[in-house]
């Protein structure tokens, strides 16, 4: 047991001190800081002055209603009546006296139309605001010509009342579903990133030790099985350290700026309103998902002895994680689909998909327990097979990038 703790501690500390770990953690913390302070950062790089748009009204009747309409919609645009010719207006825009020039006219049906001139038309926001307000003026003019009362038009365009009521007493409301969707998305993303990064780290560690012949020394002092699980747990603790730092820093930042972070994305996540059971299931499926893929990564990593072969060997595992993630993204909008339900019992997909169902739906406890049971049995089976493959794989040298080497690794393990 002492050998297990020694190898685990060595794996943890060696990886903890690497520049890649420190830099990735720092970048993640800076990213969290940027997200929490996105509003302040945006305001810093945004000018307080509104963009001046020159408006050449050839009709003599559209500028005033358009100006009032835009003022009620956006504080970032300032419409200015232009008295010169169209060519003078274009020249003023090119000289950067105005951001853009808009010419207003009436078509053959006496309805508004416009042309937008700017040095470049990449800024879609300004164009969209003016276009939308002109559209409203066009609707008003068309309805007036048709003799339709404006109040009638307003009632026609008023959004239909569409309330959604769940008859099942245990079903989640629309608000609860939106909050659960945010929590589920965060957990799915964390699991996806963790499996990809730390699974690759485990496989690379094993291949590095084999390529430097350190493995021969290690297995002479501790069994390959002890070495495999010590490495899995050591890197798991490394990942946990990074996640705790990131999540803890994020929680601290959000708590410190709680009064400012109202509405928008922060409200949609609904962390404070989410049931504690969802967080418990998140931890359970996260740990089980990591153990499953970490064991698979260690087993695959033991079959190669060159770093350049690692990515090719763990490619099938990467594809499994990606498929699970893509199905989960689809399931965020359709959690009751047959695809999500069936896939939630498949061990490679259940850490993401069963958690998605738990978070989004009122899933019976027996279904969750069945999925966890299947996943736990699969992990145990992989641990047994993985230990055999690892035991023989660490003794294999030379070019090896084929899954056919499983048989050879198991045969070598039997000779010990």
Instruction: Return per-residue pLDDT of the chain as tens, 416 residues.
Output: 677 788 788 888 888 888 888 888 898 888 888 777 776 766 666 555 667 888 888 888 888 888 888 877 776 778 888 888 888 888 888 888 888 888 888 888 888 888 888 888 776 677 888 888 888 888 877 887 777 777 777 777 777 777 766 666 655 666 666 666 777 777 788 888 888 888 888 877 777 766 665 555 555 566 666 777 787 888 888 888 888 888 788 777 767 766 555 554 445 454 545 667 777 888 888 888 888 888 888 777 777 666 677 777 788 888 988 999 999 888 888 888 899 899 999 999 999 899 888 888 888 889 999 999 999 999 888 887 777 776 666 555 555 555 566 566 566 556 55
For residue 14, the model assigns a pLDDT of 82
Residue owning tokens 């996640």: 243
pTM: 0.65
For residue 69, the model assigns a pLDDT of 82
Rounded-to-integer distance, Cα 375 and Cα 398, Å: 34
Rounded-to-integer distance, Cα 305 and Cα 209, Å: 8
Residue owning tokens 């302040």: 40
Tokens standing for residue 266: 């922060």
Domains of the chain as residue ranges with CATH: 50-157 (3.40.190.10), 172-415 (no CATH)
65-74 residue pLDDT tens: 888 888 777 7
Q: Which residue intervals of 257-275 are DSSP H helices?
A: 264-269
Bridge partners, 79 (sequence order): 53
180, 190 Cβ separation under 8 angstroms = no
Rounded-to-integer distance, Cα 231 and Cα 294, Å: 9
233-265 residue pLDDT tens: 888 888 888 888 887 887 777 677 665 555 544
Nearest to 198 by CA among 26, 283, 317: 317
């Amino acid at each position: 047991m002492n050998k297990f703790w020694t190898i685990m501690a060595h794996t943890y500390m060696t990886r903890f001190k690497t520049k890649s770990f420190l830099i990735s953690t720092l970048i993640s913390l800076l990213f969290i800081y940027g997200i929490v302070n996105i509003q302040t950062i945006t305001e810093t790089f945004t000018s307080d002055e509104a963009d001046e748009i020159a408006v050449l009204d050839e009709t003599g009747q559209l500028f005033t209603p358009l100006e009032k309409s835009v003022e009620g919609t956006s504080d970032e645009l300032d419409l200015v009546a232009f008295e010169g010719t169209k060519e003078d207006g274009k020249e003023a825009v090119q000289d950067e006296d105005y951001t853009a020039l808009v010419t207003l006219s009436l078509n053959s049906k006496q309805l508004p139309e416009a042309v937008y001139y700017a040095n470049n038309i990449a800024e879609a926001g300004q164009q969209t605001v003016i276009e939308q307000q002109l559209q409203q003026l066009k609707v008003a003019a068309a309805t007036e010509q048709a003799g339709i009362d404006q109040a009638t038009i307003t009632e026609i365009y008023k959004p239909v009342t569409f309330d959604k009521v769940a008859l099942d007493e245990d079903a989640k409301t629309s608000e609860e579903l939106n909050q659960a969707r945010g929590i589920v998305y965060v957990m799915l993303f964390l699991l996806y990133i963790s499996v990809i990064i730390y699974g690759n780290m485990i496989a690379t560690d094993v291949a590095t030790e084999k390529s430097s012949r350190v493995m021969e020394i290690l297995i002479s002092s501790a069994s390959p099985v002890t070495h495999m699980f010590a490495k899995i747990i050591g890197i798991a603790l490394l990942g946990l350290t990074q996640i705790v730092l990131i999540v803890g820093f994020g929680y601290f930042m959000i708590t410190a700026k709680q009064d400012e972070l109202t509405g928008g994305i922060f409200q949609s996540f609904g962390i404070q309103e989410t049931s504690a059971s969802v967080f418990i299931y998140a931890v359970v499926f996260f740990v089980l998902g990591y153990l499953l893929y970490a064991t698979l990564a260690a087993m695959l990593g033991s079959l190669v002895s060159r770093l350049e072969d690692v990515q090719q060997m763990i490619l099938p595992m990467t594809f499994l994680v990606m498929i699970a993630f893509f199905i989960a993204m689809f399931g965020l909008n359709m959690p009751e689909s047959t695809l999500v339900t069936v896939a939630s019992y498949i061990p490679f997909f259940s850490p993401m998909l069963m958690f998605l169902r738990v978070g989004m739906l009122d899933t019976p406890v027996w279904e969750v327990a069945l999925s966890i049971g299947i996943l736990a049995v699969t992990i145990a089976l992989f641990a047994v097979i993985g230990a055999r493959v690892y035991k023989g794989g660490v003794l294999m040298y030379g070019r090896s990038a084929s899954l056919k080497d499983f048989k050879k690794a198991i045969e070598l393990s039997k000779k010990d």
